[in-house]
Chain A
Amino acid sequence: MKKFIAMTALFIWALAAPALAEEFGTLPIMDGGQVVKSNENELIKEYNLAPQAVWEYYKGILSQDKEIRFTDRGHLYTIEDLGSRPWRRIAITKTQPDKTMMTVDMLTWKWIMIMLSLRFMAVFVVLLVLYLATFLGTSLLARLSKEPVKQGA
């Protein structure tokens, strides 16, 4: 009976935890741990838990949403919002087996502008690589064929 009551209590706690948990930009934050840094754009918490436990907690509350992307990057778990939530990313470090650093970043204009600038530059890089490849390729062909470059269309 005691076991049943304990299990029921745990189940109810698990259901209610996200609702009762503190929030950061509408994201329910996992209880416990120590706040390392907190400001309006970023929250960093350290847990004495395995990274998998933190990862599973957020998977549990966010996995129903199609706009959320879960990625395992080897040294890091990331959970990104591709919709319109105020927060942008949760990063969970995997460097230590029993200690986890969790960072929640808000979606800010600074991030959007940097992301767009980098992507714009990346388009330049793609076309620059294509330019260089074309230039080198045609020069090489001209040299191999030893034909003078003709003028006129």
Chain B
Amino acid sequence: MDLQEVFDLINGIFFTTGITHLSWKYLIMWAIGGLFLYLAIKKNFEPLLLLPIGFGIFMVNFPLVPLMGITPEGHGELIRIFYHYGLEWEVIPCVIFLGLGAMTDFGPLIANPKVMLIGAGAQLGVFVTFTGTVLAGFTLKEAASVSIIGGADGPTTIYLTQHLAPQLLGANALAAYSYMAMVPLIQPPIMRLLTNDAERKIRMKQLRSVSRTEKILYPLLCTMVIAILVPAVTPLMGLFMLGNLMKESGVVGRLTETAQNDLMNIVTIFLGVSVGATMEADKFLSYRPLFIFGLGIIDFVVCTAGGIVTVKLMNLFLKDKINPLIGSAGVSAVPMSARVSQMVGQQYDKKNYLLMHAMGPNLAGVIGTAAAAGMFIAMFD
């Protein structure tokens, strides 16, 4: 073997590495991935999702990595398979809803069902942002998928985006989860701006206790209403209610525990890494994700305001007034936004416990966001 052959071998090895294919685009994506890892690890912002998403972004943005492509034999590479079966087939958002349902207590909503309307009012931003998104040059389908971010419901955002504009999945999911994590920062100034001191100190009547029978019947009732009125989101809401029925029935403890923990954890890993991996530099680096992030924050603000204004309107007709601070919980973000209502309420009256009252609109927000998503799917799909 002469020296030339040795050089050829070294050259061959060199060209199978990614070094020669590196570009500035990858550096930007590493920084974006790094930012989300930082937010997850250091700031504890939605770490269960932002950590796998951040690492997914990081991992997929290296040249020649066989993760999201399709092999010459025609089968998907590792994360492409997770993405294909989990997200393209819309399995993961529904399974996550099963787990969420198994963790949810609808008691506060059943005890005070009129707060259901707050969940509808808090969808205002979804519809307002739609116009802004169309103005920014997105198609109607894309506008629908971007505007649902304000509903603050990750699985619903992913479900709708996958239906209508899969090319925006990464940016939409990231915006939704990022803003959900930032609920404690975004909502309090709006809550203070739209309420006065007297309103913030309104004490609400203690909620009545809810019987087991009511809790068992509620998921059936809710499924029936959703399946009849908004059938497009029955896969999501149906599994949500199945999870809840499993929990409330008390007869399938093992299944409930699996849905709440193991199953939820497994799909969360696949969801996070698949969403992150959709953000390959060539597809992601454009003005559009910036618009989506910009519109997402406006969306969140208007949705929060919509919930508060709805409470204020309802108070015009109610004898027992509702504290408008629980209106902000009408965006989904369960239970973070309910906790924010409690936190802000206690800043003005230390003995005012709003958490359980805020859980009602919070859960109504989940249903409201799903209803809004269903409206868009019915219209554009």
Contact = CB atoms under 8 A, between A and B. Distances in A.
Given A82-B141, A131-B117, A119 B364 contact: no
A134 interface: yes
A149 B110 CA distance: 13
Interface of A: 67, 82-84, 107, 109, 112-113, 115-117, 119-120, 122-131, 133-135, 137-138, 141, 145, 147, 149-153
A134 B221 contact: yes
Q: Is the interface of B mostly helix, strand, loop or mixed?
A: helix
Given A120-B123, A127-B364, A137 B208 contact: no
Contact of B225 (A117, A133, A151): A133
A67 B165 CA distance: 11
A137 B211 contact: no
Nearest to A128: B117
A143 B217 CA distance: 15
A67 B214 contact: no
Given A127-B367, A134-B113, 9 more contacts: A82-B139, A84-B139, A123-B120, A129-B229, A130-B222, A130-B367, A134-B218, A141-B211, A145-B213
Contacts of A129: 225, 229
B368 A127 contact: yes
Contacts of A113: 131
B211 A152 contact: no
Contacts of A120: 123-124, 126-127
B154 interface: no
Interface of B: 109-110, 113-114, 116-117, 119-121, 123-124, 126-127, 130-131, 134, 137-141, 206-209, 211, 213-214, 217-218, 221-222, 224-226, 229-230, 356, 364, 367-368, 371-372, 375-376, 379-380
Contact of A123 (B141, B208, B211, B368): B368
Nearest to A144: B213
A54 B150 CA distance: 42
A54 B186 CA distance: 53
B131 A116 contact: yes
A150 B209 contact: yes
Contact of B140 (A82, A126, A127, A131): A82
A31 B121 CA distance: 48
Contacts of B121: 124
A60 B206 CA distance: 64
B113 A153 contact: no
